[in-house]
Structure 1
Amino acid sequence: MSTNTYARKRALQNEDWWAAWLGLFIFGLGLGPYFGMDLLGWVTKASVWIEPAKAFAPVSKGTGLNGFTSLLVTFLFILAITTLAAKFVGSNIKKYVIGFSIIFWVTMGCIMLGNIAYIGATPDKTASYGIGWSLGLGEMGYIIAMVVGLIIGNFFIKQADFLKEAAKPELFIKIGIVVLGASIAIKTLDAFGLATTIIIRGLCAVVEAYLIYWPVVYLIARKFFKFTPEWAAPLASGISICGVSAAIATGSAIRARPVIPVILSAVIIVFVALELLLLPWLAQAFLFKDPMVAGAWMGLAVKSDGGAIASGAITDSLIRGRALRELGINWEEGWILMVATTTKVFIDIFIGVWAFILAIIWSVFPIDKNAATNSGQKNKVSASDIWDRFPKFIIGFVLTFLVLFLVGMNNPEGVKALNTGVNEGNAFRTIFFGLCFFSIGLVTNVRKLWAEGMGRIVAIYGIALFGFILWFGLFISWLFYHGITPPTV
């Protein structure tokens, strides 16, 4: 067998390559609106709901499909493409098809439960649903999926063993991350239409903050809580960069066990809910004369895209209201939210950059005991060794970002059409993330998991977030945005 033939065979058997290919395939279909074709309008999108019939609906309203039909078509599509990957990586196809079908419908049920308005609606949206309160846990569906997976995996052992053939958490999450690249690109294109000052200051703030955040959290995890690098690196990324996505991307880049970023994600989501409930009101109380500082603080401090943007929207409303009452200033709506969103965009871009850097470092240096040599010196690795270890899904992530960004820069009038396709692809990302969370729960042994130190994870997160990240983020926000105010009405 020739070298090229052997390499192609290995690629076809590599789950990482399949994640890149399938993510790029979905991305390619998502480009349809740019060429006048809506190829993914039928994909289902989960929404916050009061009426169950509105829990799912096709992304495009012009398809003529109802919510259940779009959900069924989405299921068949994902089943087809993932079964193709399962066949080449050596899975039992019959078990995979049956197991995946069960996993998909259970996961979608969990996402639906997590989107009940009393659970998933952010505080700024409760009135639109006719309710007086909400927990504001917009990503709770993932946690429910993981809990259900844990129950099945630990109490229904026989059924769990059958489903494990289809529980492919790494494949699912990596496909989702590849698709995420397009979403970040479209946000970046939107950000370039904002004031140049905001963009430059936002980029500087992010770089300065996170080059300090990450090593400090990593040091705390390693030196004081004695976590291994396999735990400490995703933990540092999750706390420092952008919550769930950063923890998962880092875990994949360093080839950590897939259970690690998901456990970290569960802790992150809980803390995001606390921040969402606390920070906008702190900003209103102390930063209503410095609105742009407040917006940047939301972007730097709240560790999820949805949470940061929701907190930015709440802060925008609260601060403008107080400024009008007490200062007699009527600032234009949306500028505080814009700063929070722009800051978050650059943080999202940082995910891919940092995952790339860590993948190289973990390939070349003996970071953990598996990479270390007996002498404790640097590993002697060839270029092919680095290539073999390098997570291929990052290639897909970078390609989706660059292609969409360059197309949008070359043709700004086409950004609206690109945005339509990105929204359709993003619906797939939500589903693949949910499938990953359920699968992780399914294959997780709780007793072993607790032995790894869940209590220490919560302790590190609390110390890092409330000990210095919130306050240093506030200082960085003040440093770059102090004295800048929105235009007045």
Structure 2
Amino acid sequence: MFIGLGIVVLGFVLWAAGSSLNLFAAKIPGWGTWSFLFGGGDVTKNGATTHAAGLAERWPNIVLLFVLFAAVFGIAAYFLKLKVSAFLGGFLALFILSFAVNVFSTSKFASSYNLEAPLVALVIGLIIGNIVNAEGFFGGALRTELYVKVGIVLLGATLPFTTILSAGPVAFLQATFIAVSTFLVIYFVASKGFGLDKRFAATLGAGGSICGVSAGIAVGSAVKSRKEHVSAVISIVVVWAIISIFLLTGLSKAFGLPDGVAGAWIGTSEFADAAGVTAASSFGEQGIAAFTLMKVVGRDIFIGVWCLILAFIAITYWDRQDRVAEAKAAGKDVNALPKQKLDVSQIWHRFPKFVIGFFVASIFLTIVIATAGAGSSASISNDLIAPVKELRTWAFTFTFLSIGLTTRFKQLSSLGWKPIAAFSIGAVVNIILGFILSAVLLPGFWSTISVAA
């Protein structure tokens, strides 16, 4: 949370001082020839001709971009108790790979097929990660959760709070329906249909209905799920998140859905924040805005409440069932068993703090726009919002390279078919309900979502 907010504040300070975050923006030009990529040239758009700098001119900015990210993520690595020198060495390798991804994604070839940088990063990461085990090479720098949280906070700085206020209630209601429906389907199929452990079923349900990996980890801890069960949920979520990128993007384009509607469907039915951003990025800023409202504002904030509810059930019901069974087996008096109390502080402990950062960044941006006046709108757009968007893209590129490089498809074979089947049934229900809500019942609402300039 603090890294993303720090970048936003830095951008504001530079803008107020007459400079901008563009100092740290790589701004790799859209290119069709190697000479244009390195040397740049004139570009005509909407009747206006401007000069696009090539890599030969942009290399100081690219170096500064690395320095900025290395500094903030290096500090994070220190507080995460990682070996900072190893982390920075690995991050340098990750940055170079991300640079190559961004260069490719700005080519005319990639643009013609709408191959956004995060999606390219995912594919490259999966290919490398499933051919060789490259995690050790990156020295602990493959920190998916860290990068995606920074990216989401930066998302907040590109989404006016007025949009959140107007669309938030609808997003919350839609998310509530989806979260409850998906959780119940996965939980009952897993526990009643396939006879899986209730805690495992609850962890599966949370991973499929709220915010993917984070929810699986948080709820697994809250209900005291076994470590191997939490790991299984993470693997299933990651695989389904990857599948959904291509599935939801392809179906949205095949159905000709408006950008906002596609983004809302992705936000409703994608299983991980980072994966959803990648899919939504194929539908422009409106798609990203609708996705963010549904996923971050709508679904992610459920994690604290879900942890409290499930922890309460686990402590007062499941744990007692286990203790009663153990007492009966040992010939003890079950009425003498002590009662356990729920620690309400778990709501705050498990609540995803980056969601707060997202809201703070959005409010901050809205205040800046409102106080600066109409005369500064172009300056804010070009010198504050635009570079934040680019840094956001880099953060998500780091995220998806990390996901790809750490995902092993062969690990799924050790899980057995039951948890995969239970999650998949819930996923199908989620996708169908998400389409009905976003594209059938509320298309007029989602297709008119506003975005920052």
Same fold (TM over 0.5): yes
Instruction: Give, as a single letter, the amino acid of the residue that structure 1 aligns with 2:365.
Output: L
The amino acid that maps onto 1:277 is K
SS in 2 for 1:374: helix
- Rounded Cα–Cα distance in structure 1 between residues aligned with 2:316 and 2:150: 27
Aligned AA for 2:206?
A
Is 1:348 equivalent to 2:322 in the alignment? no
Alignment size in residue pairs: 386
Shift of 1:28: 0.7
Q: CA deviation at 1:387?
A: 3.7
Match of 1:394 in 2: 355
Q: Does 1:92 align with 2:92?
A: no
- Kindly tell me: are residues 70 and 259 of structure 1, through their superposed partners in 2, closer, same or farther at Cα, counting changes over 3 Å? farther
User: Structure 1 residues 176, 369: closer, same or farther in 2, change over 3 A?
Assistant: farther
CA distance in structure 2 between the partners assigned to 1:418 and 1:361 by the alignment:
38
* Amino acid in the other structure paired with 2:126: V
Letter in 2 for 1:233: A
Q: Determine whether 1:71 maps to 2:70.
A: no
- Aligned pairs for 1:189-338 (under 5 A) are 206-224=171-189, 228-237=201-210, 247=212, 262-280=238-256, 297-303=261-267
Residue matched to 1:430: 393
- Counterparts of 2:315 and 2:243, CA distance in 1: 27
Q: Distance in 1 between matches of 2:373 and 2:145?
A: 35
Seq. identity, %: 16
- Give the partner amino acid of 2:255: L
Structure 2 residue 22 is the aligned partner of structure 1 residue 41: yes
Q: Give the Å deviation of 1:27.
A: 0.9
| Letter aligned with residue 166 of structure 1 | A
Q: Provide the rounded CA distance (Å) in 2 between the counterparts of 1:398 and 1:436.
A: 21
Question: 1:366–1:373: 8 Å Cα contact kept in structure 2?
Answer: no
The aligned amino acid for 1:90 is K
CA distance in 2, matches of 1:433, 1:371: 40
Q: Which residue of 1 aligns with 2:10?
A: 29
Check the 8 A contact 1:149/1:442 in 2, yes or no.
Answer: yes
- Kindly report which structure 2 residues correspond to 1:82-231, keeping only aligned pairs within 5 A, or say none: 82-114=73-105, 116-119=107-110, 121=111, 126=112, 134=113, 139-151=118-130, 155-156=132-133, 160-185=135-160, 206-224=171-189, 228-231=201-204
TM-score (norm 2): 0.68
By how many angstroms is 1:164 displaced? 4.0
Q: Secondary structure at the match of 2:22?
A: coil
SS of 2:320's partner is coil
Q: Match of 2:19, SS?
A: coil
Q: Normalization by structure 1: what TM-score?
A: 0.64
Alpha-carbon shift at residue 182 of structure 1 (Å) = 0.8
**Aligned Cα RMSD in Å?**
4.4
Q: Sort the Cα spacing of 1:307 and 1:64 in 2 relative to 1 into closer, same or farther, 3 A.
A: closer
Q: Are the structure 2 counterparts of residues 174 and 302 from structure 1 closer, same or farther at C-alpha, using a change threshold of 3 Å?
A: closer
Runs of at least 5 residues in structure 2 that lack an aligned partner in the other structure: 41-50, 192-199, 222-229, 268-275, 322-338, 449-453
User: How many Å separate the matches in 2 of 1:415 and 1:253?
Assistant: 41
- Provide, for residues 318-355 of structure 1, a one-character-per-residue CA deviation record: whole Å limited to 9, x for no partner: xxxxxxxxxxxxxxxxxxxxxx93x8645523413542
